[in-house]
């Protein structure tokens, strides 16, 4: 259980800082903890089935097992999705760094003649647009 708590803190830190590798401890420990919890609930349900006066509790235990299983599965799927999106972002960023961003020239890939010439003239704001005639309908 201590390892699961440590893995959860690593997951929190990794999700906050977008560090893909810190998701792995939780992704490996969570299914083990979920399986142990399901086994524990199953043993409890097996021991309580068929006892007199516990029929309502049996149905509740089965429903609780179903609900807990799907919640734990959903949590795992969300973290796997975040892990995969971080992996896709890493690959995309690497491609952009190697090939360049679309529409952006990288330094050293253009000739000197394409640079704009600097002038010593002071900067002036553009002139305002001409007024548009506006008439109200009669």
pLDDT at position 113 is: 47
Q: Is residue 124 part of a domain?
A: no
Task: Evaluate whether residue 78 is within a structural domain.
Answer: yes
The DSSP-derived string for 48-117 is: HTT-TT-HHHHHHHHHHHHHHHHHHHHHHHHHHHHHHHHHHHHHHHHHHHHH--TT-PPTTSS-GGGSPP
Assess if residue 128 is contained within a domain: no
State if pTM tops 0.75: no
Q: Which residues of the chain have pLDDT under 50?
A: 109-115
Domains: count for the chain: 1
Q: Which domain holds residue 50?
A: 2-98
Provide the pLDDT for residue 107.
Answer: 52
**What is the pLDDT at residue 111?**
46
Q: Is residue 125 part of a domain?
A: no
């Amino acid at each position: 259980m201590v390892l699961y708590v440590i893995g959860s803190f690593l997951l929190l830190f990794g999700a906050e800082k977008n560090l893909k590798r810190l998701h792995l401890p939780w992704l490996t420990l969570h299914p083990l903890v979920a399986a142990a919890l399901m086994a524990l609930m199953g043993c409890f349900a097996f021991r309580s089935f068929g006892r007199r006066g516990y029929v309502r509790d049996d149905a509740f235990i089965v429903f609780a097992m179903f609900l807990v299983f799907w919640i734990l599965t959903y949590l795992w799927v969300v973290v796997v999705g975040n892990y995969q999106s971080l992996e896709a972002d890493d690959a995309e960023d690497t491609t952009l760094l190697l090939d360049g961003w679309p529409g952006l020239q990288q330094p050293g890939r253009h000739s000197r003649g394409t640079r704009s010439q600097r002038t010593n003239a002071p900067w002036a704001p553009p002139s305002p647009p001409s007024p548009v005639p506006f008439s109200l309908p009669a």
